[in-house]
């Protein structure tokens, strides 16, 4: 199951046209490896780009999010919505949910990990041909 194809299909179903992306520097630079054609993906810019990438890498390395890292992700998400016109924020990393779980969400999220898991489940539970 190719996760990026599942994400692209879900975005197409959602009707979203412009999505802010948070994740590693590579994910943000390549706009999820160039695998999404159904919407425009936009990344933070300048210093914010580096802060998001560094915060994500640090968070992923220890498996938990600090309040300072969470603030970086929320500030970047707000900026992408307000200044760049994003309709939702994509969590382009498997553990980015840690920053948002249990929080009041100030913007809609597209969680790539959730989409990939749902696609795997749907494929594994589909009837097979004899």
Domains annotated for the chain, with CATH where assigned, are: 3-123 (3.40.50.1860)
Question: Model confidence over 14-38: pLDDT tens digits?
Answer: 999 999 999 999 999 998 888 899 9
Band of the pLDDT at 112, cuts 50, 70, 90?
confident
Beta bridge partners of 19: 41, 88
Residue 42 half-sphere exposure toward CB, CA atoms < 13 A: 24
Query: pTM for this one?
Result: 0.86
CA 76 from centre of chain: 12
């Amino acid at each position: 199951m190719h996760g990026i194809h599942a994400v692209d299909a879900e975005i197409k179903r959602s009707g979203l046209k412009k999505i802010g992306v948070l994740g590693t520097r590579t994910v943000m630079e390549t706009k999820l490896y160039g695998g999404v054609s159904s919407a425009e993906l936009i990344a933070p810019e300048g210093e914010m780009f580096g802060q998001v990438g560094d915060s994500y890498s640090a968070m992923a390395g220890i498996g938990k999010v600090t309040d300072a890292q969470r603030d970086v992700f929320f500030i970047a998400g707000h900026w992408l919505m307000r200044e760049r016109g994003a309709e939702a924020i994509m969590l382009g990393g498997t553990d980015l949910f840690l920053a948002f779980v249990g929080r009041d969400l100030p913007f809609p999220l597209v969680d790539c990990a959730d989409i990939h898991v749902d696609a795997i489940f749907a494929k594994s539970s589909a009837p097979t041909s004899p």
